[in-house]
Structure 1
Amino acid sequence: MAINQEEVEKPLRKISVAFKSLYDTLNSQTNNGEVHLEVGPFSHACSLVSPLFRCLGIAFKFAEMDYVAKVDDLVQASNSVTTLQVMMKRDIDSDCVRKAGSHTRNLLRVKRGLDMVKVLFEQIIASGGSSLKDPASTAYAQVFAPYHGWAIRKAVAAGMYALPTRAQLLKKLNEDGEFVLEVIT
């Protein structure tokens, strides 16, 4: 699938195309009800999300660094494992699912990052306001806060005051609000 120059400069559109492709792949499978998602295309789609964290600034710097490291691990795993299901089965069989650095644990962290972005954009649209503080605070509280200690939660709360406005975020992403509405709704 060829990507035109406009899409290269618009991260949200690249993300949309990549995840739509994953969606189409999953919906086209007829493996006796089993769905198999390849690690390579999944990790590539996830790698396209990291600029969103970067655009949010210091409040989500830790999330960005953690997310990028976990996605990089999945990219490396794609060299030796074909599907997410095989990857998780290997970790289960090796009894390392809960161990730091396991591919499955990293997959969970990536999923939380994706959930954070999803909830953030839902909240941005629902609020309709120009500030990202409340949408980002809500998204953080729902997705990450239950897994963070007091110190990290306080640091993130302080960083919320440095978030860009909605207009600044869309400008950094080279987007207008119409595309965001189209994708989310």
Structure 2
Amino acid sequence: MANSENEKILRKMADAFKELAATVNSQTADMEVAPFSRACSFVSPLFGCLGIAFKFAEMDYVAKVGDLAEASKSIATLKVMLDRDIEGNCVRKAGSHTRNLLRVKRGIDMVRVLFEQILATEGDSLKDPASKAYAQVFAPHHGWAIRKAVAAGMYALPTKAQLMKKLNEDEASARIQMQHYVAASSSVILYIDKLFLSRELGIDW
């Protein structure tokens, strides 16, 4: 995904989520849909860099983030978005903003776990980190056919070195940005989980 502008995908992701985390941690403002969807859009290229194993996740994630970006034109905050769907009795309906938010949250959570595993793992293979991240976040919600397809795709993952090249990073700078993303996204994910649980919506559907 490197381009002539020397675009730093990891830095964009980390910076955007640090801003979201600052909002969450300040506890003085509700998270707005527009900056949230914008930050999530910076994660999309990463799925593309992981290849065929996460192609389904990339397509699903990009579509759901697009829906939230569209929603941001008329809905100010995530809280208002959930409450509108609750009022409309459409929370669990396919295509609802609330359902899409839950799917997007899983996408950013999968990347968080992936980065944690990359940071904790020696060697050049991404198979273990990616397999653990998938198993922890996505697998419980997927049927047998998708899980089997993902398992097969794991053999086509780039190496860690190849991923760094696609992301236009060296390992030292990448580790720093991954650490920033892990810390910041954890706060954001917790905030979203609390939103759902405070409205007794659950987070496992």
Q: TM-score, normalised by structure 1?
A: 0.91
Corresponding residue number in structure 2 for 1:151: 145
Matching residue within 70, 84, 95 for 1:76: 70
Of structures 1 and 2, the one scoring higher in RCO (CA 8 A, sep 6+) is 2
Q: Does 1:56 align with 2:50?
A: yes
The answer to whether the 8 A contact 2:127-2:154 is kept is yes
Query: After TM superposition, what 4+ stretches of structure 1 lie above 3 angstroms from structure 2?
Result: none
- Give the alignment's Cα RMSD to 1 decimal: 1.7
Matching residue within 20, 23, 41 for 1:22: 20
Shift of 1:7: 8.4
The answer to whether the 8 A contact 2:6-2:168 is kept is no
Q: Which amino acid aligns with 1:27?
A: N
Corresponding residue number in structure 2 for 1:3: none
| CA shift digits 1:35-55 (9 cap, x unpaired) | 400000000000000000000
Query: Take 1:176 and 1:89, find their aligned partners in 2: how far apart are those partners?
Result: 43
SS at match of 1:144: helix
Count of aligned residue pairs for this structure pair: 177
Shift of 1:124: 1.0
Q: Does 1:175 align with 2:169?
A: yes
Query: Take 1:7 and 1:129, find their aligned partners in 2: how far apart are those partners?
Result: 30
Q: Percent identity among equivalent residues?
A: 73
5 Å-filtered alignment, 1:1-185, equals 9-30=7-28, 35-183=29-177, 184=179
Shift of 1:17: 1.1
Unaligned segments of structure 2, at least 5 residues: 181-205
| CA shift digits 1:62-83 (9 cap, x unpaired) | 0000000000000000011000
Query: Take 2:11 and 2:63, find their aligned partners in 1: how far apart are those partners?
Result: 23
The answer to whether the 8 A contact 1:7-1:14 is kept is no
Q: Which amino acid aligns with 2:39?
A: A
Query: Take 1:7 and 1:14, find their aligned partners in 2: how far apart are those partners?
Result: 13
SS at match of 2:118: helix
